[in-house]
């Protein structure tokens, strides 16, 4: 019904020689919402891929660290270190790497937030914000990924015995 009224007004204006345009804000809002949802989905997929690559990188780095530090593990085990102690050492190492990655990611994500807010310039429809919950979710996610990526090398290091290490040295 509104579109019919707008068409009638446009016809009257055209008869007067006036060209007018109009925006249907309901349709514009729906389109804007679709664009934002699509962009959000793309960014979430990119973030998941980046997290997976980071997890694989951390896993391979810790695996190499376990391999290169076999003598250290052997010395620790020979003076009475338990499997738990050895595993925790490598797990903490992975968590420290995750913490450093999170700290580096904060300014990058803040900058990227500004860049994307300007790129999608929707005027006053969206307010650029960076809530504290974003930092908390990022921290929990990063530590979760670092923990999962560190488990396999940590367990591998914990399973090494002094006799196994001496056998391969």
What average pLDDT does range 133-159 have in this prediction?
Answer: 95
8 Å CB contact between 67 and 168: no
Q: Where are the alpha helices (DSSP H) in the chain?
A: 2-15, 25-68, 70-78, 83-119, 132-158, 162-168
Domain coordinates in residue numbering, the chain: 47-168
pLDDT beyond 80 at 128: no
Q: How far apart are CA 17 and CA 129, in angstroms?
A: 46
Residue 103 has pLDDT above 90, yes or no: yes
Q: Please, which pLDDT band fits residue 122 given cuts at 50, 70 and 90?
A: low
| More confident of the two residues 100 and 43 | 100
């Amino acid at each position: 019904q509104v579109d019919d009224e707008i068409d009638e007004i446009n016809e009257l204006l055209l008869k007067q020689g006036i060209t007018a345009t109009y925006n249907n804000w309901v349709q514009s809002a729906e389109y804007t919402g679709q664009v934002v949802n699509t962009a959000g989905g793309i960014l979430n997929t990119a973030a998941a891929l980046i997290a997976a690559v980071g997890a694989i990188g951390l896993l391979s780095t810790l695996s190499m660290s376990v391999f290169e530090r076999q003598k250290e593990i052997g010395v620790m085990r020979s003076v009475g270190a338990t499997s738990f102690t050895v595993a925790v050492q490598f797990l903490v190492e992975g968590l420290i790497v995750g913490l450093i990655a999170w700290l580096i990611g904060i300014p990058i994500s803040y900058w990227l937030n500004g860049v994307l807010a300007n790129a999608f310039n929707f005027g006053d429809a969206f307010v650029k914000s960076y809530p504290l919950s974003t930092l908390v979710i990022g921290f929990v996610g990063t530590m979760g990924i670092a923990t999962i990526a560190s488990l396999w090398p940590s367990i591998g290091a914990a399973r090494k015995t002094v006799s196994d290490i001496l056998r391969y040295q």
